[in-house]
């Protein structure tokens, strides 16, 4: 989507634009924090905990406190110290000036990068919080705010996130080339300049300075970290390089490691980039790689339970996938004939999605909504579709709509407690893609009645929420045929539209 203004091409122009950029805050979070700031019974810690649910508010308060302090005063390293420095009344006035928006009006790219920041905070707390307990505030707020410069960038130009994902992650273009093409300046240089201008916590600035100007220490540490199976040899190499050993053990490195783990996991858990950060974390913690991986997977699952929504991608979802699976893939160019057919089908799909995304909800009954849902899924190329609705206690899944299946599907009722896969899908919104590579692993965990309706090795299963509770499970395939990456991506986008429709319909029902 084209932007209203041309993108800046110099560092100074970027700083001028992003320094003035206000960050939107979800209406509910904005109201909750304003009420807490007006309540004299609330402690600073309670208010700080409420603010962290909306990272944008935490950033604006910390940034303002450090601006007001002057260049010769020590930076506030935590939100509590920033609140103390500003005072509750000035903080309330500052928060009230931030734009409050319904969640669906906040750019998806901003919410996705903030989810990555929250995932990094969970990794930092779980991996390093216990070892460095006295520094827990620096670890917590430093890891949450490390990517804050990118938040402002994606509010101003949300289209950049998808462009970067496709070119760097899907097409494997060099990140430096893509950043020069899109921004005119290296992204890390821009992040460092913004972090310094905003006087973000020292650990954040140290991390960017390392990545921008002094990668030698990082490269030497990575070289040693690769030899994870020989810890004694690793220790000998560190003992032979005292400056490197001193640098490696600095607590400030914890927030860089946490964000490296969270960012690299956004693409894949076993990519070379992700494995480098895992090895380096193992060297820092003096743990074998297997122990590090077990811990980061557990922390990712905890983060997903606390933060993930159906619209956003959380790497914990990929833990259900085959180890070599990838969310993003390079798309080959289509032939002219294929392109014509695709355009016609795409128009029909877009019409159905537009109906699902209509505000307020265009549906007067659940039957209307689920009928439109089924049609949208068919339009994106899925010939067999089953919609299952969950009761309030998650003790039963009942068929609501189906197409392309035997008539027995109309009366299907499933007890999810008999299926480990369904229990997991009902705990939090998630997606599972069955393929010949993992069918043996998951087939035994699916109900027999469901396998009878879908005798297939290529299947998509996804759960969706309403009012923070899973209410729907979608099962779909292409009559047993192999699912292309394009079909899987179309299914994901359609599911996001269905999620929005469920949310709008729920609000209409409450009204």
**pLDDT per residue over 145-170, tens digit each?**
999 999 999 999 998 998 898 888 88
pLDDT at 339: 41
High-pLDDT (> 70) share of the chain, %: 93
Q: Given pLDDT bands bounded at 50, 70 and 90, which one contains residue 142?
A: very high
Check pLDDT > 50 for residue 337: no
Q: How far apart, in whole angstroms, are the C-alpha atoms of residue 251 and residue 343?
A: 53
Tokens of 72: 């010769």
Q: Would you state the pLDDT for residue 343? A: 46
The DSSP 8-state label assigned to residue 140 in this structure reads: H
* Nearest-angstrom CA–CA distance, 63 and 18: 13
Compute, in degrees rounded to 10, the torsion defined by CA atoms 88, 90, 91, 93. 120
Per-residue pLDDT, 355? 85
Please report the pLDDT score of residue 290 as a whole number.
92
**Which residue matches tokens 């209409």?**
508
Query: pLDDT above 90 covers what percent of the chain?
Result: 54
Contact between 387 and 399 under an 8 Å Cβ cutoff? The reply is yes
Tell me, what DSSP letter sits at residue 132?
T
Which pLDDT band, with edges at 50, 70 and 90, does 341 fall under? very low
pTM of the model: 0.66
Q: For the stretch 213-238, what's the b/e string if a residue is b when 16 or more beta carbons lie within 10 angstroms of its beta carbon?
A: eeeebbebbeebbeebeeeeebeebb
Orientation of helix 253-265 relative to helix 272-285, angle to 10°: 150
> Looking at residue 509, what is its pLDDT?
57
Residues 7-34: pLDDT tens digits?
898 999 999 999 989 999 999 999 999 9
C-alpha 78/C-alpha 141 separation (Å) is: 6
For 274-318, the pLDDT digits (tens) are 999 999 999 999 999 999 999 999 999 999 988 867 678 899 988
Report d(CA 311, CA 339) in Å as an integer. Answer: 28
| DSSP 8-state code for residue 322 | -
Confirm if 501 and 363 have CB atoms less than 8 A apart: yes
Pairing of strands 25-26, 100-101: parallel
Q: What distance, in Å, lies between the first and last C-alpha atoms of the chain?
A: 34
| pLDDT tens digits, 439-472 | 888 888 898 889 889 888 889 999 999 888 899 9
| CA distance linking residue 439 with residue 457, whole number of Å | 6
Task: Give the pLDDT band of residue 351 (cuts 50, 70, 90).
Answer: confident
**333 to 27, 173, 337, 487: CA distances (angstroms):** 42, 17, 12, 15
| Closest residue by Cα to residue 400 from 378, 385, 383 | 385
Q: How many CA atoms lie within 13 A of 352 on its CB side?
A: 24
Mean pLDDT of 211-223: 90
Percent helix, strand and coil across the chain, each to the nearest 5: 60, 10, 30
- Which three-class secondary structure state does DSSP give residue 209? helix
Domains recognised in the chain with CATH numbers = 108-188+208-307 (no CATH), 362-510 (3.30.450.40)
Mean pLDDT, rounded, of the chain:
88
In the block, residue with structure tokens 């070119």: 167
H-only helix segments in 286-397: 289-307, 336-357, 366-379
Residue 406, pLDDT score: 85
* pLDDT value at residue 357: 85
Task: Give the bridge partners for 431, in sequence order.
Answer: 462
Residue 433 and residue 460: Cα distance in Å, rounded? 5
Across-strand partners of 434?
459
């Amino acid at each position: 989507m084209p932007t209203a203004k041309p993108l800046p091409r110099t560092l100074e122009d970027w700083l001028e634009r992003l320094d003035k950029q206000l960050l939107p805050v979800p209406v509910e979070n904005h109201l909750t924090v304003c009420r807490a700031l007006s309540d004299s019974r609330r402690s600073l810690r309670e208010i700080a905990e409420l603010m962290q649910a909306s990272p944008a508010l935490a950033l604006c308060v910390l940034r303002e406190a450090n601006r007001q302090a002057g260049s010769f005063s020590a930076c506030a390293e935590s939100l509590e110290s920033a609140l103390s420095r500003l005072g509750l009344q000035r903080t309330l006035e500052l928060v009230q000036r931030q734009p409050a928006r319904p969640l669906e009006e906040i750019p998806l790219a901003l919410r996705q990068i903030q989810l990555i920041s929250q995932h990094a905070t969970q990794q930092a707390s779980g991996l390093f919080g216990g070892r460095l307990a006295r520094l827990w505030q620096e670890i917590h707020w430093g890891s949450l705010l490390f990517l804050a410069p990118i938040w402002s960038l994606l509010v101003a130009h949300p289209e950049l996130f998808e462009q970067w994902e496709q070119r760097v992650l899907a097409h494997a273009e060099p990140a430096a080339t893509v950043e020069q093409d899109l921004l005119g300046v290296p992204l890390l240089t821009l992040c460092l300049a913004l972090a310094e201008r905003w006087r973000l916590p020292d650990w954040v600035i140290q991390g960017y300075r390392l990545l921008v100007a002094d990668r030698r220490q990082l490269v030497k540490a990575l070289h040693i970290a690769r030899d994870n199976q020989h810890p004694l040899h690793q220790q000998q190499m560190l003992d032979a390089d005292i400056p490197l050993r001193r640098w490696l053990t600095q607590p400030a490195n914890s927030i860089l490691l946490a964000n490296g783990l969270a960012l690299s996991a956004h693409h894949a858990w076993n990519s070379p980039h992700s494995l480098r950060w895992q090895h380096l974390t193992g060297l820092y913690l003096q743990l074998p790689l297997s122990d590090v991986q077990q811990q980061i997977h557990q922390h990712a699952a905890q983060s997903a339970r606390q933060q993930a929504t159906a619209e956003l991608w959380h790497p914990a979802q990929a833990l259900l996938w085959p180890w070599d699976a990838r969310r993003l893939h390079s798309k080959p160019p289509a032939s002219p004939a294929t392109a014509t057919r695709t355009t016609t089908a795409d128009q029909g799909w877009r019409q159905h999605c537009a109906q699902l995304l209509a505000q307020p909800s265009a549906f007067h009954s659940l039957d209307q909504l689920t009928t439109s849902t089924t049609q949208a899924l068919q339009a994106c190329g899925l010939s067999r579709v089953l919609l299952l609705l969950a009761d309030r206690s998650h003790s039963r899944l009942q068929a609501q709509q189906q197409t392309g299946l035997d008539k027995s599907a109309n009366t299907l009722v499933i007890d999810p407690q008999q299926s480990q896969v369904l229990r997991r899908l009902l705990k939090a919104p998630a997606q599972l893609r069955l393929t010949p590579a993992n069918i043996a692993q998951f087939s035994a965990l699916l109900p027999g009645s469901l396998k009878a309706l879908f005798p297939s090795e290529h299947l998509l299963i996804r759960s969706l929420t309403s009012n923070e509770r899973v209410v729907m499970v979608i099962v779909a395939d292409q009559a047993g045929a192999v699912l292309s990456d394009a079909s899987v991506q179309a299914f994901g986008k359609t599911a996001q539209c269905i999620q929005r429709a469920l949310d709008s319909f729920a609000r209409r029902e409450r009204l």
